[in-house]
Structure 1
Amino acid sequence: MQNKRSVAFGHFPRIRIQDGEHLLWNPLKKQAFRQRPEERVRLQLLEYLILQSSIPTSRIATETAVPSRYSRGRTDILCHDPDFQPWLLIECKADNVKIGPKTALQSAHYNRHISAPYIMMSNGIQDLLFDMSPKPVALEPSGYPPEIKPGFPFTSMEPSYWTGRGFLPENMDSDAASALSALLCHLFHQSGESRSYLTLNAPHESKVYTHFYLLTNAPGSPDSLLAFTVMAAGPGDAVIVAAGNRRKKITGILTIAIDQSGTFHSPELIMAENDNIITPDISPVEQICLEPSSARAGKPAENIIPKLARALEELLLHGK
């Protein structure tokens, strides 16, 4: 049975920044990889297994070799039972690839020489899990094996978590890092809003902003979406990037630099209709983002997202 939301939802791959490039980091292989959609999904699922399942990392492997004539020759993720026999085979697809019976059959074919009793297919958005013995049976999330059964959503307000995943830089002022970590936890962990890995190109700049973005509806514009993220931009520095989209067309892009002390500066708002660069009033956004973590604790994400969305809507859809 297809799970409405992947167990990987709310998990993000670890990042290593080398020469300004955000590389994917496999914590089991202790190796960096260039960004590829399938690799991101694999590492998101790996994060779920490490942080939320009861399977020890000693029984989780990536890229296990299998006879290549049946597939590309290596598994994505293979979990073993306590006797170190194959137990769960996970095959990953890019997040824009739909998963269904055909892809599940491919994995079953792939499992001939693995003989794992469970197979999971995932694109990081939705999952398909099958009990393979004696015949393949699709499982509802409520029927997942206890080792991987979805439980409470994972949350973290620790700056080290968000630093390790490319949202925040190292060496940022502790108060600013704590405030931004609490914000990110509310947006990306505690809310049910969609998120997507996007690339935004800022006009008049050579910079490209590629990262995971929160997607939310614009409160006063039913036909519009807002995208928002915080990403590390260098030692101690970060940047807020947000964009408006109306009827599948970008209306504006906002960037706000954040220095090591947590000071917001150099805001630029570029409206698509005229490509003019505006220096906007970002005080409403800054106030929301830097609210102390102690003040944010206990507040539901549902209260914070509308406030942020309204502030971004004024800028990105109306150019104010």
Structure 2
Amino acid sequence: MTPLQLPTYPFRLKKEDNIIKIFDIIRKKFIVLQPEEWVRQHWVHYLIQEKEIPASLLAVEISVNTKLLKQRSDIVAFDNNGKPLLIVECKAPSIKLSQSAFDQIARYNMKLKVPYLVVSNGLQHFCCKIDYEKKSYDFIKNIPEFSFLKAH
């Protein structure tokens, strides 16, 4: 798999019928290792290890019903009360991050109304903070630690 611009982690991999699978610690099962899944698993571990978000407060591929269709958000982080704080939309490293990726995460956020959004292909990452009162957003360099996320 492509090396990413994220820390490396000790992933559990296995080969089954010539298919490589990676263990998802959130869904607690092995998932076929596709390029997008490679990015998603790096982000899951990054959020847990680096941003100190408890694994129990992360959800992977949760259904989000938008006006047009039922879609799945890659990663959502919640606070201790179940309020969504952060959405991470993952793309394969070969996918250029375009307006459509931002449109996709914006559709999810119409339902979830989180304060932080991340779009990443593992090589590039864009994070923004949403200000609902001012109806604006700002791109920020880093996702805040969980203690900051849940306090705001």
Match of 1:92 in 2: 90
Partner of 1:146: 145
CA distance in 2, matches of 1:32, 1:117: 31
Cα–Cα, structure 1 residues 71 and 104, in superposed 2: closer, same or farther, change >3 Å?
A: farther
Among 71, 74, 94, the alignment partner of 1:73 is 71
Match of 1:53 in 2: 51
- Equivalents in 2 of 1:35, 1:44: separation in Å? 12
The 1-side partners of 2:9 and 2:99 are apart by 25
Whether the 8 Å CA contact 1:71–1:110 is kept in 2: the answer is no
Name the structure 1 match of 2:112: 114
After superposition, the C-alpha distances for 1:35-89 in whole angstroms (9 at most, x for unaligned) are: 2221111111112122222111111111111115556511100000122200000
SS at match of 1:43: helix
- Pick the aligned partner of 1:128 from 120, 126, 133: 126
| Aligned residues with identical type, % of pairs | 27
Q: TM-score, with normalisation over the residues of structure 1?
A: 0.40
Q: Please give the residue correspondences for 1:280-295 in structure 2 after superposition, counting only pairs within 5 Å.
A: none
Provide TM-score, normalisation by structure 2.
0.80
Contact 1:41–1:93 under 8 Å retained in 2? yes
Q: Quick one: which amino acid aligns to residue 60 of structure 1? A: L
Paired position in structure 1 for 2:14:
16
1:259 corresponds to which residue?
none
Gaps of 5+ in 2: none
Structure with larger Rg: 1
Bigger relative CO (Cα 8 Å, ≥ 6 apart): 2
RMSD: 2.5
Aligned length: 142
Q: 1:101 to 1:85 in 2, by over 3 A?
A: same
Uncovered stretches (5+) of structure 1, i.e. residues with no partner:
150-320
